[in-house]
Amino acid sequence: MIHIIITSYGELESTMKTIDSFLNQKIKEPYKITVIDPFPEIEKSLKKKYGKNVDFFLDPGEGKSYALNLFLEKIYSQNKDDIIIFTDGDVHVSENTVQEFLNSFKDEKIGCVTGKPVPLDEKNNLFGFWSHLLFEGIHRTREKLNTREKFFECSGYLFAIRNGVLKGFPLEVSEDGIIPYLFWKQGYKTKYIPKAEVYVLNNYNWKNWKKQKVRNIKGHENYNVVAPEMPRTKSLFNEIKEGTLFALKYPKTMKERYWTSLLFLARLNIYLKALYDIKIKKKKYEDGWRADT
């Protein structure tokens, strides 16, 4: 059985596009699509269009990770050939996604697989350019670590796991990092599948961009408490060490070089903001719906 879990937040049209991107795939194995959403009216609209082809699980409204934990416990099976795919209701996936994932899980040593986020934003504006640069940077990092068979975090936009290994995970950290780590601790490997693409339209402004990134950093900083021995792939030190040279080489025009310099300042700003909230204001990570790359 393949469980395809789509976490959404009341965005009906976008969620339907996500559903269609899976229904349009040629999936030979038995599968079930479930939408997890905190708005009951979404269930009525989905049942009207899809009938029994799509299930609905009501999110209690305590955060994405909380809802996922409840649902994982519900569908837990000891059959490790069962696959669980996670994605969001504001993205859609390439037509080969499920088959690429299934091919990877033929290797019994693979516990998690993750796809490649592809930004749909126009590159001719500040936030669109930032999206392309950051997405390309994390793509290169995952490719390198995948080749070396090292640990790396999955993309919250699209990843999959074997059933029968986890019944849940800690709420204090980002699920796209802690779940692969819990598999890693049990001897499983994580695999990166760039051919399985997930298409993301960010539509950022400064307020939303900063809020999302600060929350994401807080979630990753909590690994120091929840899983201090976990290899960190996302940190200020790693960004500086692994990303600086790439970022400096990425821009092609003077305008892009200027935008890149602003990105350096913006990334420093959000790290300082996140660390200030954690260390000084004692504001902890709060589980939310929106994922990062």
Confidence category of residue 291, pLDDT binned at 50, 70, 90 = very low
- Which strands form 91-93's sheet, in the order they lie side by side? 54-58, 31-37, 2-7, 83-88, 158-162, 110-119, 189-200, 91-93
In the structure, what pLDDT confidence band is assigned to residue 287 with cuts at 50, 70 and 90?
low
Model confidence pLDDT, tens digit, residues 62-100 = 889 999 999 999 999 999 999 999 999 999 999 999 999
DSSP class per residue in 89-113: TTEEE-TTHHHHHHHHTTSTTEEEE
Structure tokens, 51: 């009938």
292 in a domain, yes or no? no
Q: What is the pLDDT of residue 232?
A: 80
pLDDT more than 70, % of the chain: 97
Judge whether 49 lies within some domain: yes
Residue 84: strand pairing partners: 3, 161
Asked whether residue 291 is domain-assigned, the answer is no
- Answer yes or no: is 290 within a domain: no
CATH number at residue 29: 3.90.550.10
Spell out a b/e string for 147-156, using b for 16 or more CB atoms within 10 Å of the CB, else e: eeeebbbbbb
Q: CA–CA separation, 232 vs 219, rounded Å?
A: 12
Instruction: Give the N- to C-terminal CA distance of the chain in Å, as an integer.
Output: 27
Identify whether the C-beta of residue 218 lies closer than 8 Å to the C-beta of residue 285.
Answer: yes
List the domain range (segments joined by +) for residue 10: 2-279
For the purposes of burial, counting CB atoms within 10 Å of the CB of 143, is it exposed (0-12), middle (13-18) or buried (19 or more)?
middle
pLDDT at 158 over 60: yes
Q: Are 176 and 291 in contact (CB under 8 A)?
A: yes
The number of distinct structural domains making up the chain is 1
Residue 287, domain member (yes or no)? no
Do the domain assignments include residue 184?
A: yes
Cβ-contact 165, 80 below 8 angstroms: yes
Q: What's residue 104's pLDDT?
A: 97
Name the percent of the chain lying above pLDDT 90.
79
Taken in order 117, 239, 192, 75, is the CA torsion positive or negative?
negative
Supply the mean pLDDT for the chain: 93
Judge whether 122 lies within some domain. yes
C-alpha to C-alpha distance for 110 and 124, rounded to whole angstroms? 39
Q: What is the pLDDT of residue 254?
A: 98
**Distance (Å, whole) CA 184 – CA 151:** 7
What confidence score (pLDDT) does residue 216 get?
A: 86
Task: Provide the Cα torsion 244, 225, 76, 45; round to 10°.
Answer: -60
CB 31 within 8 A of CB 1: yes
The secondary structure of 209-278 as a DSSP string is: HHHHHHHHHHHHHTHHHH-TTSPPSSSHHHIIIIIHHHHHHS--SHHHHHHHHHHHHHHHHHHHHHHHHH
Domain presence at residue 273:
yes
Contact present, 239 and 138 (Cβ < 8 Å): no
